[in-house]
Amino acid sequence: MRSSELVVHAPFGGQELARIQRPSAEEIEEAVQRAFVVFEKTRSLPTFTRVAILRRVAVELERRRDELARTIAAEAGKPLKAARTEAERAAATFSAAAAALESQRGDMLPLDVNAASLGRWGVVKRVPLGPVLAITPFNFPLNLSSHKVAPAIAVGAPVVQKPASQTPLSALALREIVLAAGWPADAYAVLPIAGAAAEGLVTDRRLPVVSFTGSGAVGWRLKALVPKKRVALELGGNAAVVVHSDADLDDAARRTVSGAFSYAGQSCISVQRALVHRPALEAFRGKLLLATAQLVVGDPLDERTDVGPMIAPEEVTRVEAWFAEAVAGGATVLTGGTRMGACVAPTILANTTPSMKVEALEVFAPVVSLVAYDDWDEALRRVNDSKYGLQAGIFTQDLARIQRAFDVLEVGAVLVNDVPTWRADRMPYGGVKESGSGREGPAYAMEEFTEPRLLVIRS
C-alpha cells in the first residue's frame, strides 16, 4: 500500500471495502481555492434555487436509502436497520434545511428612539461568512455530514469536508448526490486526508467557519488554534437517564436498553449512566436485564442484528481495560463485560463510582452503569457531576420534578419520559461544558454559518 492510499476496511470481518487515493497537498490547495472563489457564486444563488437543490437531495437520499444503508453498515459497522434509519434521517435533514430556508425572516428595527435618531430605521439580514470546513466523525457518516452540508447549501456557502478515515464512502456518496442535484462541483469537496493534516485546513483563512464533530481533546485544541474564526463544536458526553419510581418502568427499561446499546453505544448521547430511584431499582434492573438478553449481537449486515462491532480492534481493547479497572474498584458486572470478536457484549454495571472511567469519561461502547438514588435533587446532582453536558433523560409523571430538572440540569436538552439518545434532526442540538459550543439542526446551524448585517436608512 502506498502512503497516499487510504484502505477502508469493514469493522466486522475486516474485509477490504475500497482503496481511495488521498489527495496531494496540491489537490488540497486547489480544492480550498476553488471553494474560496466559487463563494461569490453560491452566495448569490436565489433562494428558490437553493431550496430546489436541497429538496432534490432529500428525494434522492430517500430513493437510495437501502443502497446507502448498506454502505453505512459495511464501513461503520452499524446494524442494517439502524443504517436505514440514518439514511432516512439524512433525507429529513435536507428537507428541514429547505423548510428553514423558505421560512427565513429578517428584522425591521425602529431606530428613532431619541431625537438624534429621528427619521432612521434599520433592516437586519443574515449573510454567509464564507466556505465551511466540515470535519465529520465515523459514527453517523451520512447524517452528520448532512447536518453540515445541508445548512451550508441553505445559506449559500461552499463546503470542504474532511470525513473520518474509517468512513469516507458515505461522504463521497453524499457529494455525488449533492452535485447531481445542481450544487456547483467546486462548492463541495470531500478530502479523505489523515486527521493530522486537517490542522492546515482549520488554520486556512479562506475557510472562516469550522464545524467539527468528534472528540473533545481534538475539538478544543482546534478551536484554540483559530480564536478569531467561527467554530462550532459537537463533542462527547456521558449521558444520564433518571428513572423515578412513578415512571412506566417497562417503557423506561426498553428505551434505556435501546439508548445504551444501539450502534454498540458509539454515540455521544448514548445512555452511559442510569440513575434509578431506590424503591424501583430491583424491578427496573430485572426489566433491563431481560430486555438486554433479547438483543442480537454480531454481523451488521444481518437483518436480525441489534448490536454490531466496535469501529476498531483497539477500541475493544480499551473497553476491556475500563471494565477491568471498574471491577478492581468494586464494580459488579450484571451482564456482559466480555468481547465477542470485534463486538463488545451489551454490558450493565452496578456499584460504580463517579471516579471510574466508565462513569466519568465517555465510554463510547455498549455499557451502562446502574446507580441508585434516594431523592430527586440527589439524582440531579449526580447527573451534573460530570464535565460533560449534552443531553439528559428523565422518567417521571410529576410536573414539579420535570420543572426542577429543566431548571437545574446542566445540559443542552432535557428529554421527559425518554432517553437522552433521542434526537430530532430539526431541533437545536448541542451541549455545554466540555460537550461543545454552538448548536446543530439546520435552522440553528444556518445561524452558526452566518452573521447579521444591518442596513440603516435615514428618510
Please indicate, yes or no, if residue 430 is contained in any of the structural domains: no
Residues 58 and 134 in one domain: yes
Residues 151 and 248 in one domain: no
Residues 298 and 216 in one domain: no
The string of pLDDT tens digits covering residues 385-416 is: 999 999 999 999 999 999 999 999 999 999 99
Residues 446 and 387 in one domain: no
Residues 231 and 287 in one domain: no
Domain containing residue 275: CATH number: 3.40.309.10
pTM of the model: 0.96
Return mean pLDDT, the chain: 97
Per DSSP bridges, beta strands 347-350 and 332-335 are antiparallel
Please indicate, yes or no, if residue 156 is contained in any of the structural domains: yes
What range does the domain containing 387 cover? 240-425
Give the residue numbers annotated as catalytic, written as ranges.
Answer: 234, 268
Supply the Cα-derived Rg of the chain in whole angstroms: 23
Residues 223 and 371 in one domain: no
Instruction: Give me the average pLDDT of each 10-residue run along the chain (459 residues).
Output: 79 96 96 98 98 98 98 98 98 98 93 94 96 98 98 98 98 98 98 92 98 96 96 97 98 98 97 98 98 98 97 97 97 96 97 96 98 98 98 98 98 98 97 97 98 96
Residues 441 and 410 in one domain: no
The gap from C-alpha 71 to its chain's centroid, in whole angstroms, comes to 19
Count of domains observed in the chain:
2
How far apart CA 234 and CA 213 sit, in angstroms, is 5
Domain containing residue 21: CATH number: 3.40.605.10
Residues 419 and 439 in one domain: no
Orientation angle between helical segments 65-76 and 168-180, nearest 10 degrees? 160
SS3 309: coil
